[in-house]
Amino acid sequence: MPSLAAAVSACTLGLLVATSPALAAEIKVLTTGAFKPVLEALVPSFEAETGHKVTVQNDTAGAVARRVEAGEAFDLLVLTPGGLAELAKKGRLADARPTELAKVGVGVAVKQGAPKPDIGSADAFKAAIKNAGKVAMIDPEAGGSSGIYLKRLFERWGIWDHVKAKAVLVPGGLVATRVVSGEAEIAIHQISEILAVKDAVLVGPLPREIQNDTIYAGAIAATTPAADAATAFLRTLAGPQAAKVLDEKGMMPAGS
């Protein structure tokens, strides 16, 4: 019978082999900007626990989809379920059933210290937008979810031409930086991305009757050489460890 010391040594050796850098994988994650803060918060602990290395690249939802369609390599993709469904049809994903991760609504932001507009109802929000000097939002042509939704909302209200004439249309990135810089008086963007901007203040979410919650889901690439590592990270994103981070970043679990 082996001694206790020998057993401990064997166990230690096994752990070292299991966590050896030779077995570590490099995972490339493509994501929409709204989910990026959650990823960045969860990456360090995942890397420390597994030895894997995670690289995160973000873009608007439309731009991410176009990059994948054009053949860009990735291991894990975070996108809207609709966008993932289209890519699954084209054979870019390993599974046609993505894992839902979170949802987030659209909010309004102003610069720290600036007056907060009344957005407590759809009519109040409409008035705030009409009365504002410059309004920053994602350029709908860039494929950002919130920009596409807002354009449709303003068209339905018959004020899109008025808004477009004074809009600061941002091609991608953090829209709320435009109120911090003074380029706009009001910024409208997904709440998780507003909270990521220092010196921007979240006035609040859009009123429930006009709110547009976007769901984000994750899927593994069809041709990734790091399927096991990417799947492990996807489980982390969908697990209990992520719930607290979602709340801190202005998001909610997808099923809530």
Among 117, 210, 135, 147, CA closest to 176: 135
pLDDT at 2 over 80: no
Q: Quote the pLDDT of residue 181.
A: 98
Angle at which helix 240-248 crosses helix 227-238, to 10 degrees, equals: 60
In a domain, 255, yes or no: no
Distance CA(51)–CA(20), nearest Å, equals 8
Q: The CATH number of the domain where 156 resides is what?
A: 3.40.190.10
Say what the pLDDT of residue 46 is.
97
pLDDT, position 124: 98
User: What pTM does this model have?
Assistant: 0.80
- Domain match, 120 and 90 both: no
Residue pLDDT, tens place only, 198-240: 999 999 999 999 999 999 999 999 999 999 999 999 999 999 9
* 60 inside domain: yes
For residue 58, give the amino acid letter: N
What integer pLDDT is reported at residue 12 of this predicted model? Answer: 42
CB 210 within 8 A of CB 128: no
Domain that holds residue 40: 4-103+214-248
pLDDT band, residue 191 (cuts 50/70/90): very high
In a domain, 33, yes or no: yes
Residues 130 and 167 in one domain: yes
Alpha-carbon Rg of the chain, whole angstroms?
Answer: 21
Do both 163 and 241 map to the same domain? no
Q: Look at residue 73 and tell me whether its pLDDT is greater than 90.
A: yes
pLDDT tens string 142-162: 988 899 999 999 999 999 999
Is residue 52 within 8 Å of residue 79, measured between CB atoms?
no
Residues 122 and 197 grouped into a single domain? yes
pLDDT value, residue 143: 87
Distance, CA of 156 to CA of 128 (rounded, Å)? 17
pLDDT class of 92 with cuts at 50, 70, 90: very high
- Do the domain assignments include residue 71? yes
Q: Are residues 157 and 223 in the same domain?
A: no
pLDDT band at 1 (very low <50, low <70, confident <90, very high): very low
Region 179-196: mean pLDDT is 96
Percent of the chain residues topping a pLDDT of 70: 91
Shared domain for 201 and 231, answered yes or no, is no
One domain for residues 115 and 198: yes
CA angle 143, 234, 79 (to 5 degrees): 10
pLDDT at site 23: 76
94 has pLDDT over 80: yes
In a domain, 85, yes or no: yes
Say yes or no: 143 and 196 in one domain: yes
Q: Pairing state of beta strands 214-220 and 99-104?
A: antiparallel
Same-domain check for residues 222 and 95: yes
How many domains is the chain built from? 2
Q: Are both 167 and 198 inside the same structural domain?
A: yes
Would you put residue 143 in left (φ > 0), alpha (ψ -120 to 50) or beta?
A: left
Query: Do residues 116 and 186 share a domain?
Result: yes
* Mean of all residue pLDDT scores within the chain: 91
Is 50 a member of any domain?
A: yes
Q: Is residue 254 part of a domain?
A: no
144 falls within a domain = yes
Mean pLDDT across 174-187 = 98
pLDDT at 15 over 90: no
Same domain? 53 vs 130 = no
Dihedral angle sign, alpha carbons of residues 22, 239, 221, 31? negative
CA distance 101 to 79: 10
